[in-house]
């Protein structure tokens, strides 16, 4: 089957394949907002805190990972109701929520505002948009065209990076984002062909459970993206771990029960040319140690000239793998009734 024949009531395939254009659009929209905002006039920031859940939380995690070794002040990401003690008047806070009503994020943003922090809102509307309007905080508004939050990766990531670059916390990210959009456009065309790499990875995983290994930094964040997309789009469990930590502990767990695990798990390794040389060696050693206890061991290598390009490449690849996994089983990737039931239960 081609993806046009898969069940897809919310247009997940078209939204996912539009990631290159989404990045370009998000860059232009972010420039428009930042042109009319003087964040530096609010004072000097000596810390940045980012709050979000789901894909919004992933945007926060990416900013922290990308900022490691680049940011001029500490960056911290939180995925809960709690706000760390350092957040105060000299903290720039990002409240990221596609709906603007994510309970944990609204709670954290409210506390941060009460402590005197400057809050940047990234949302479509909701309570966060109301907070931004009432306090004259900057707001980046998501377009209504994206069907669900997880298809808004570019619209959630780009404003964070662009804002941090504008105030000098990060170096200029414009050239990297432009290059990423071009590379993704080319890769999208390849990935859309019959018998593409993402389709083949989905076939190899089959009805096993994917275990996704990345490494600290951009491929680790991409691995988390793979996991959550498999969870939400394909509606199956998936698990994630990162090098080098996993080679200090998790690898020891594969010493027993190979007769069971080789029927249950497939290992996917997310690799890129920018990883540390010792991390590369660790991947080789861990693959050698786990090869006989996995149904499949599947390496996926990122394309892209730098960290941002490689991240978006791995993210698009994984998004399409999860959609193929859903399609092969006749699963509609858009609705997530289990998550909706949890939200409804919370009232």
Q: What is the mean pLDDT of the chain?
A: 96
Distance, in Å, from the CA atom of 259 to the CA atom of 60, rounded to the nearest integer, reads 39
Contact 142, 45 (CB under 8 A): no
Instruction: Give the tens place of pLDDT for each residue, 55-74.
Output: 999 999 999 999 999 999 99
For the stretch 123-154, pLDDT in tens is: 999 999 999 999 989 999 999 989 999 999 99
Contact 57, 157 (CB under 8 A): no
The domains of the chain, with CATH numbers, are 37-172 (3.40.50.10490), 195-328 (3.40.50.10490)
pLDDT at position 179, please? 97
- C-alpha R_g of the chain: 20
Among residues 341, 342, 323, 318, which one has the least CA distance to residue 333?
Answer: 323
pLDDT at 347: 78
* Residues 229, 198: Cα–Cα separation, whole Å: 13
Residue 40 has pLDDT above 80, yes or no: no
Our CA angle for 231, 234, 236, nearest 5°, is 55
Torsion angle, CA of 319/322/323/327, rounded to 10 degrees? 170
Closest by Cα among 223, 222, 199 to 321: 199
Whole-angstrom distance between the N-terminal and C-terminal Cα of the chain? 40
Residue 55, pLDDT score: 98
- The pLDDT tens digits of the residues spanning 310-340 come to 999 999 999 999 999 999 999 999 999 998 8
Confidence of residue 5 (pLDDT cuts 50, 70, 90): confident
What is the value of pTM for the model shown? 0.96
Closest to 148 in 3D by CA, of 341, 339, 344? 339
User: pLDDT for 204-262, tens place per residue?
Assistant: 999 999 999 999 999 999 999 999 999 999 999 999 999 999 999 999 999 999 999 99
């Amino acid at each position: 089957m081609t993806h046009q024949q898969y069940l897809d009531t919310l247009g997940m395939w078209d939204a996912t394949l539009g990631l290159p254009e989404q990045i370009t659009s998000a860059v232009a929209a972010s420039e428009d907002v930042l042109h009319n905002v003087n964040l530096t006039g609010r004072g000097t920031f000596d810390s940045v805190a980012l709050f979000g859940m789901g894909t919004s939380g992933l945007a926060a995690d990416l900013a922290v990972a990308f900022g490691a070794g680049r940011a001029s002040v500490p960056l911290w990401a939180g995925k809960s109701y709690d706000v760390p003690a350092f957040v105060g008047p000299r903290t720039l806070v990002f409240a990221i929520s596609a709906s603007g009503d994510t309970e944990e994020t609204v709670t954290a943003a409210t506390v941060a505002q009460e402590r005197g922090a400057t809050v940047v809102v990234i949302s479509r509307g909701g309570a966060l948009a109301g907070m931004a309007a009432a306090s004259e905080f900057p707001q980046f508004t998501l377009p209504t065209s994206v069907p669900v939050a997880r298809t808004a990766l570019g619209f959630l990531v780009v404003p964070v990076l662009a804002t941090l670059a504008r105030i000098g916390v990060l170096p200029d990210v414009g050239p990297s984002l432009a290059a990423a959009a071009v590379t993704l456009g080319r890769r999208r065309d390849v990935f859309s062909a019959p018998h593409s790499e993402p389709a083949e990875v989905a076939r190899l995983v089959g009805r096993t459970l994917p275990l996704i290994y990345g490494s600290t930094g951009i491929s680790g964040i991409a691995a988390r993206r793979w996991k959550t997309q498999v969870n939400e789009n394909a509606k199956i469990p998936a698990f994630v771990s990162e090098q080098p930590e996993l080679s200090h502990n998790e690898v020891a767990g594969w010493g027993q029960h190979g007769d069971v695990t080789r029927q249950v798990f497939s290992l996917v390794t997310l690799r890129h040319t920018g990883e540390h040389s010792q991390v590369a060696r660790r991947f080789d050693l861990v693959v050698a140690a786990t090869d006989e206890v996995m149904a499949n061991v599947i390496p996926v290598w990122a394309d892209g000239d730098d960290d941002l390009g490689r991240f978006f490449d791995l993210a698009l690849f994984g998004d399409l793998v999860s959609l193929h996994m859903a399609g092969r089983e006749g699963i509609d990737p858009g609705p997530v009734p289990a998550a909706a039931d949890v939200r409804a239960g919370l009232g």
